[in-house]
Amino acid sequence: MDYNNPVIAKKGTDHGDPAVLKFKGVYYLYHTGPRKVPVYRSFNLVDWEEAGVALWASDDRNHWAQIDLWAPEVLCSNGIFYMYVTGATRSGDGTADDENRRIGVAKSASPTGPFILADEPLTREWSIDAHPFQDDDGTFYMYYNVRNDLTRGPGGIIGTGNVVDRMKDLETLDGKPAMVVRPEHAWEGNKEGTFFWNEGPFVLKHLGRYYQMYSAGYFGDDSYGMYYATSDEPMGEQGMKDTSWKKWQGGKAILKSNEFCEGPGHHVVTKGPDGVNDYYIYHGYSPDEGVQERRVRVGLFEWQDDHIWLEPPSDNRLPFPATPSVDARFMSSLKDINRLLSEKKTDDFYFETTATFLDKCAKMGVSLSDNIRWTIYSEGHRLVAAVENPSQTQCSDLPQHVDFTFPQRISLLKKGGRYTFSINGLEVLTVETGEKYKGEKVLMEYDEGQVRAEGTILTTL
């Protein structure tokens, strides 16, 4: 199967600043709106259906988010969905007061909402484009965009830049941001040279380094494009004067406008349905439409050693994102899931499921033929790996913030004799067996009636 971009293009709607959440094998997409944040649902990143309104702006004349709900991004932690979104107050004529834009959080028990806005914003200065990032040690950081005297562009012209702050918890910032990137070049502004932008941050970690992807140029025309900067640490120690982050090749674009898409940018990166391949979801104008409405597009994201490569916009038919070798995402019976898994033998693989313990004393595991067995003990908050012989074990404490009475994504990656077990993307335990077992069967072990598994996949590598 193949498809054409854009994947969401509703006439009369501007689909700016798209962000995607993957939960239990299903994708949810959110984008900017004047008074509401819509939500879409997909199983493959290409075919999207409208799923309602996730968030409405406040009607309270004293609230921080009365209009212009920009750049929503959602994460889930222990059954609560947190949406980080920009809002503005209304001016006297009913339009947004551009001097009064703030980032805040809204919460929901469902990825489709309704999300409820917090009474107070997270930030106290002009700020937009929030992006939460969790480091390997579990610490959360908020990357976002500000506009002040320290983010001015060439010649001291007004501009915006990206900063980072530690999060005390998912609803509180430390309040001591540090600089990440700010405009330095003429091409990072509009064609008149009267305003400059570095905005739309998205952060990844690769080979021990931090990569902040960002957009620069004027978002309303073909000067807009995508860039990245790197650092050895997620947040520098010199505050707003920090220079830890270095722009790739001094600020060279990795994606620019072409005849098929103008102003590509403000994106997120997510795993495809197979849990292995990466894709970036971004917005851009379709030149053949001739309207100022951004459309949602999907492209391949690849690491080329230590460099980021993005599939450029085109009018070609593109192959659908790869699917798992075993797709049990929409099966609920653990017996049926194991029956499907047992039909597949594999050497190297990626396995993923979202587990919920219905009893605090429950346990579940993943067994690989007779070679290795992984078991999660919820009561003791421990992960135990038994290699070849149950008396030979390795153990690890689970992250303290993880509560398995709520859905948690667990994954197991096997390459050669190396097995890596992760929870919600955080590596918990790696085992080196010294043996490259082949033809393994992956099966789940569980207490009957005490564990629920959803979004289960197995992809051979």
| pLDDT for 131 beyond 90 | yes
Angle at 76 between CA 456 and CA 445, to 5 degrees: 30
Using the predicted structure, report yes or no on whether residue 370 has a pLDDT greater than 70.
no
pLDDT (tens digit per residue) in 274-322? 999 999 999 999 999 999 999 999 999 999 999 999 999 999 999 999 9
Q: Any idea which of 2-16, 31-45, 248-262, 347-361 has the lowest mean pLDDT?
A: 347-361
Q: Is the pLDDT of residue 129 over 60?
A: yes
Q: How many CA atoms lie within 13 A of 328 on its CB side?
A: 28
**Contact predicate 179/161, CB 8 Å:** yes
Handedness of CA 84, 89, 93, 99 (dihedral sign): negative
Phi, psi of 239 (to 5 degrees): 60, -140
Q: Which residue has the tokens 């107050």?
A: 89
Residue 220, number of CB atoms within 10 A of its CB: 13
Instruction: Identify the three-state secondary structure at position 77.
Output: strand
- Please report the pLDDT score of residue 437 as a whole number: 75
Please indicate whether residue 207 or residue 360 has the higher confidence score (pLDDT): 207
Do residues 374 and 384 touch, judged by C-beta distance below 8 A?
yes
Q: Which residue has the higher pLDDT, 372 or 142?
A: 142
Q: Is a pLDDT exceeding 80 seen at residue 234? A: yes
pLDDT of residue 302: 98
Rounded mean pLDDT, 190-202: 98
Give the model's pLDDT for residue 448: 78
What's the rounded mean pLDDT across residues 260-277?
A: 98
Among 188, 199, 222, 242, the active-site one is 199
pLDDT at position 388: 60
Residue 390 pLDDT > 80, yes or no? no
What is the rounded average pLDDT for all residues in the chain?
Answer: 95
Mapping DSSP to helix (H, G, I), strand (E, B) and coil, where does residue 240 land?
helix
Q: Is the separation of the CB atoms in 385 and 419 below 8 Å?
A: yes
Find residue 453's DSSP bridge partners: 355
Confidence of residue 391 (pLDDT cuts 50, 70, 90): low
Q: Which of 445, 460, 456, 444 is nearest to 345 (CA)?
A: 460
pLDDT of 434: 73
The per-residue pLDDT for 178 is: 98
pLDDT of residue 446: 86
Report pTM. Answer: 0.97
Would you call 90 helix, strand, or coil by DSSP? strand
pLDDT per position as a tens digit, 80-114: 999 999 999 999 999 999 999 999 999 999 999 99
CA distance 286 to 155: 33
Report whether pLDDT(392) > 90: no
Mean pLDDT, residues 341-345: 94
Q: What is the pLDDT of residues 162-182, one digit of tens each?
A: 999 999 999 999 999 999 999
In the annotation, is 125 catalytic?
A: no
In the chain the domains, ranked by start, together with CATH numbers, are 2-319 (2.115.10.20), 326-460 (2.60.120.200)
Do 255 and 310 contact (CB within 8 A), yes or no? yes
